[in-house]
């Protein structure tokens, strides 16, 4: 064996020995500190915070808005009775081809076949034939936007409604949504 390799081996052994000694000193100091009641309490708090219960519950690190959003999305399919508030998504003509999507047209287009409305308290759409739209709109609260991308508005309104409802109550949520987005 060359002297250079032997020196390298000795150097590595010494480095490992120092690490082991340092580690042992830390363990000894930890045991001394754990005798102090305040430090013992602190370590128990740290252990509790690192517990799997808290690690798995991602809600702890969420903002209030994220927390409310994740909880209401979990319950959307359970909601049967709603405040009957819908967002008008669009008016459509059925495509004549099976391979094409239906075509979005103006609200009052005489060739329109149906309109889509999304209930802000439920996760699905209502496709209403044009001849039944007037009655549907009379019986429900319809929010409309001039925006072409109404789907994103729907999610914004939905989030705001549930935030107001959770923080205050449904009546306040309904009132604020109607004030902000208006009825059609």
Domain boundaries, the chain: 3-56, 65-181
Q: Are 9 and 16 in contact (CB under 8 A)?
A: no
Query: So what's the pLDDT on residue 148?
Result: 59
Q: What angle do CA 94, 95, 98 make, to 5 degrees?
A: 125
Strands (DSSP E) contained in 120-172 are 125-129, 141-143
First to last CA, the chain: 90
Longest dimension (CA), the chain: 96
Report residue 180 CA to chain centroid gap: 22
| Tally of CA atoms within 13 A in the half-sphere of 119 that contains its CB | 19
| Residues 76, 77, 82, 83, CA torsion sign | positive
Query: So what's the pLDDT on residue 52?
Result: 59
Query: So what's the pLDDT on residue 147?
Result: 60
Single pTM value for the model:
0.64
With residues binned 3-state (H G I as helix, E B as strand, rest as coil), the percentages for the chain, rounded to 5, are 60, 15, 25
Report d(CA 116, CA 107) in Å as an integer.
Answer: 11
Helices 170-181 and 150-167: crossing angle, nearest 10°? 150
Query: So what's the pLDDT on residue 63?
Result: 73
Instruction: Tell me the CA distances in angstroms from 184 to 30, 88, 122, 153, one per residue in order.
Output: 68, 9, 20, 15
Strands (DSSP E) contained in 7-124 are 85-93, 103-105, 114-119
How do the pLDDT tens digits run along the chain, 184 residues long? Answer: 667 777 777 788 788 888 888 999 999 988 888 888 888 888 888 887 776 555 555 555 567 777 777 788 888 888 888 899 999 999 999 988 776 888 899 999 999 999 999 999 988 889 999 999 999 999 999 998 666 567 778 888 999 998 899 888 899 999 999 999 886 5
Neighbour-count burial of 14, counting CB atoms closer than 10 A to its CB (0-12 exposed, 13-18 middle, 19+ buried): exposed
């Amino acid at each position: 064996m060359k002297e250079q390799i032997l020196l390298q081996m000795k150097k590595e052994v010494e480095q490992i020995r120092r690490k082991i000694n340092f580690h042992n000193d830390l363990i000894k100091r930890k045991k001394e500190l754990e005798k102090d009641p305040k430090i013992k309490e602190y370590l128990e708090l740290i252990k509790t915070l690192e517990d799997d219960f808290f690690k798995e519950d991602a809600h702890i690190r969420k903002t209030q808005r994220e927390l409310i959003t994740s909880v209401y999305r979990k319950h959307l399919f359970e909601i049967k009775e709603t405040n009957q508030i819908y967002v008008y998504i669009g008016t459509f003509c059925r495509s004549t081809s099976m391979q094409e999507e239906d075509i979005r047209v103006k609200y009052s287009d005489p060739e329109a076949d149906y309109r889509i409305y999304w209930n802000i308290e439920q996760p699905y759409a209502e496709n209403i034939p044009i001849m039944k739209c007037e009655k549907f709109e009379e019986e429900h609260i319809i929010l409309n936007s001039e925006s072409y991308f109404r789907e994103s508005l729907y999610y914004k309104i939905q989030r705001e409604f549930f935030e107001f409802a959770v923080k205050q109550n449904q009546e306040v949520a309904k009132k604020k949504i109607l004030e902000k987005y208006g009825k059609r």
